[in-house]
Chain A
Amino acid sequence: MKNIINCSTVTKTFTTGDVATTVLKGLTFTIKEGEFVAIIGPSGSGKSTLMHILGALDSPTTGKYELDGHDVSKLSDNELAEVRGRKIGFVFQSFNLLPRVSVERNVQLPLLYTNTPIAERQKRTHAALRNAGMDASHDHHRSNQLSGGQMQRVAIARALVNDPSLILADEPTGNLDQKTGQIVLETFQKLNNEGRTIVLITHDQYVAAHANRIIRILDGNIVEDRANDSHHPSMKGIDA
């Protein structure tokens, strides 16, 4: 299996005035194609900053980050946008769907920025929605008419629509009750079983337990990186 994520001594330092704060202190790890990894840590541990770098929303201060074989640590803003559009599918805690806009149009949004032909958009949109567990009866509903669990599955469909190398989910169950959260996590497991690479950022032990590998971060360092077979005995592609 090839490496989707390859981080070597990635650091991130924020400077406010004269005070420099190093949030990430030289992280080195790889994530292979087909893995389902949970990055877990308390707030202030640097996991959000790591997620921004993994999601090409930000560049590391030093070190190298390769996404799907391409070095993205030194790209310009527009090149980063291109990488995000084609390689990464984001799932956010607060869904971030456009209100008053249909489910279909919400899912199609990333295709607008990759100039996908109109004819292909419908096909991909419907495939992504079915894949994320939404049935066709909701396709023309407005996004604000849906329940929280449905909204997050629409958001997952939006993350899938460009067929990305990596799905990056930031506290995807944070705004959901346990039951709908469970459905969303099962959706991720299903997608992972179909071969999708998923990185899930969370502070919640229970949520992290759905992944096949858990990376624990504390104060900008990796303190634990282990396979998790409590839920899934059939493990794939673990970098032991």
Chain B
Amino acid sequence: MMIRDVLTETYAALSGNKARSGLTMLGIVIGISSVIALVGVGQGATSSVTSSIANLGTNLLTISPGASRNAGPVSGGFGSATTLTQADATAIKSEISDVSAVAVELSRRYQVTYKGNNTNTQVIGTEASYAGIRNVTLSTGAFITDQQNKDYAKVAVIGPTVRDDLFGVDADAIGMTIKINKIQFKVIGVTASKGGSGFNNTDQYIYVPVSSAQRFLAGKTSISSIDVQAANQKVMSTAKQEITTLLLSRHNITDSTSADFTVVNQADLASSLSSVSSTLTLLLGAIAGISLLVGGIGIMNMMLTSVTERTREIGLRKAIGAKSGDISFQFLTEAVTLTFVGGIVGVLLGWGVAVGLTMAGIITATVTWTSVWLAFGVSALVGIIFGYYPARRAAKLKPIEALKYE
């Protein structure tokens, strides 16, 4: 039998009962489109986690005061200790070769006001190198300089959300004076928006020179953390080890388990978070896969019904010269055609849902070619697997009995 004939026969058979073919196909459409859309949502979540981690800085090690483990029965709470000093930061920068930049941070939430408007937000006292380490870019103005740090300058770089809250959306804030904890600071720059959300939203931050933060806001010389940028990805763990050794000796601690600081590798955080969202993707994909399986069983059910209904037709075809192979190939082609066409519609629908979700701003869903091809492959495979048994049954029919079938 020629391929062309098989396809014509398939078209005739499937279009002969449009409602049933359509409904059976719907099962596959729903299965495939949910695979595409849900895996898209999962992958979107993964890439948004990865990119927001990257926004925090590349090759970043963060040193925080306080121990993360074995701190004794009473923990002071993460970040509450004040064991880190500016001198520690200077030592790291000068003594460890794998480090390319160091910036100290003194962060706390303050009430910030401009005329009648006020907001409560995170104020980060830091130094010039911070911008490079944390990927902070400015939309207008300039970041804090080392000179301003030396001068205890009362200047502030504000995030776009802060600007919108205090001055109005997209207002020109440069040169304005805001009050942080009732102390006047002059706005010298506005950072570019990074998006982000929740506690990671850097658009809500205000940056001031660390010296000013210590003198005018916190009233103490301690710092709340040190950001270290390693020279490259490869030396991250070496750098982490060297910093730990250096700080232990500077703090006169011999037992590393009782360290009064913690070094966190940003890459570790990124990989553990993205493994969480990969698991999520897998879970969503598995749920969608189940609906695809159900769709496949629908195909098998329809094909079995069709074989029973067309018993006489099968008998006739065999009587006029069709071999078992011709019959099973014809029924298999019908099943695969159903799943394949269903797969195409499903991919388009799933893609549409993903684009719709993204445009509606509910969640960013990314549809990759991999998942599209995978869905096509799976749908064709479903057709072959679930079409095989009915096709075999049709092929095995004896022409005499099939012709007598009422």
Contacts and interface: CB of A to CB of B under 8 A. Distances in A.
Interface of A: 52, 55, 57-58, 77-78, 81-82, 84-86, 90, 92, 96, 98, 100-101, 105, 109-110, 112-115, 118, 158, 162
Interface string B1-16: 1101100010010001
A9 B322 CA distance: 29
A114 B16 CA distance: 25
Point out which of B12, B319, B320, B322 has the most chain A C-beta atoms below 10 A from its C-beta.
B320
B242 interface: no
Given A57-B319, A100-B16, A113-B321, 7 more contacts: A57-B399, A81-B323, A82-B323, A90-B319, A96-B313, A96-B316, A96-B403
A33 to B, nearest CB: 21
Contacts of A113: 1, 317, 320-323, 326
B325 interface: yes
Contacts of A82: 321, 323
18 contacts: A57-B319, A58-B400, A78-B324, A81-B318, A81-B321, A81-B324, A82-B323, A84-B318, A85-B321, A85-B322, A86-B321, A96-B316, A98-B316, A109-B317, A112-B5, A112-B322, A113-B317, A162-B321
A189 to B, nearest CB: 23
Contacts of B154: none
B163 interface: no
A152 to B, nearest CB: 14
A12 B132 CA distance: 94
Interface string B283-320: 00000000000000000000000000000110111111
Given A78-B323, A86-B321, A98 B313 contact: yes
For the complex of A and B, the 7 pairs showing the least CB-CB separation, nearest first, are A85-B321, A113-B321, A110-B320, A96-B316, A81-B323, A112-B5, A78-B323
A78 B324 CA distance: 7
Contacts of B324: 77-78, 81
Contacts of B312: 96
B400 A85 contact: no
A58 B399 CA distance: 9
B325 A78 contact: yes
A126 to B, nearest CB: 18
A110 B399 contact: no
B284 to A, nearest CB: 43
Contacts, number: 63
Contacts of A101: 12
Contacts of A158: 320
Point out which of A55, A85, A115 has the most chain B C-beta atoms below 10 A from its C-beta.
A85
A144 to B, nearest CB: 12
B121 to A, nearest CB: 73
A115 B2 contact: yes
A101 B12 CA distance: 8
A147 B400 CA distance: 26
A71 B26 CA distance: 51
A109 B320 contact: yes
Nearest to B326: A113
Nearest to B316: A96
Contacts of A78: 323-325
Interface of B: 1-2, 4-5, 9, 12, 16, 312-313, 315-326, 399-400, 403
Nearest to A109: B320
Contacts of A90: 319-320
Contact of B1 (A77, A86, A100, A115): A115
Given A52-B400, A57-B400, A92-B403, A84 B320 contact: yes
Contacts of A85: 320-322
A110 B1 CA distance: 10
Nearest to A168: B319
Contacts of A92: 316, 403
Contacts of A118: 4
A94 to B, nearest CB: 8
A84 to B, nearest CB: 5
A115 B1 CA distance: 6
Nearest to A55: B319
A85 B1 CA distance: 12
B9 to A, nearest CB: 8
B200 to A, nearest CB: 63
Contacts of A81: 318, 321-324
A118 B2 CA distance: 10
A96 B313 CA distance: 7
Contacts of A162: 321
Contacts of B16: 100
Contacts of B4: 118
A84 B399 CA distance: 11
A87 to B, nearest CB: 9
A76 to B, nearest CB: 10
Contacts of A55: 319
Nearest to B313: A98
Nearest to B310: A98
B136 to A, nearest CB: 71
A105 B11 CA distance: 13
Contacts of B9: 112
Contacts of B315: 96
A120 to B, nearest CB: 13
Contacts of B403: 92, 96
B15 to A, nearest CB: 9
A57 B4 CA distance: 27
Contacts of B5: 112
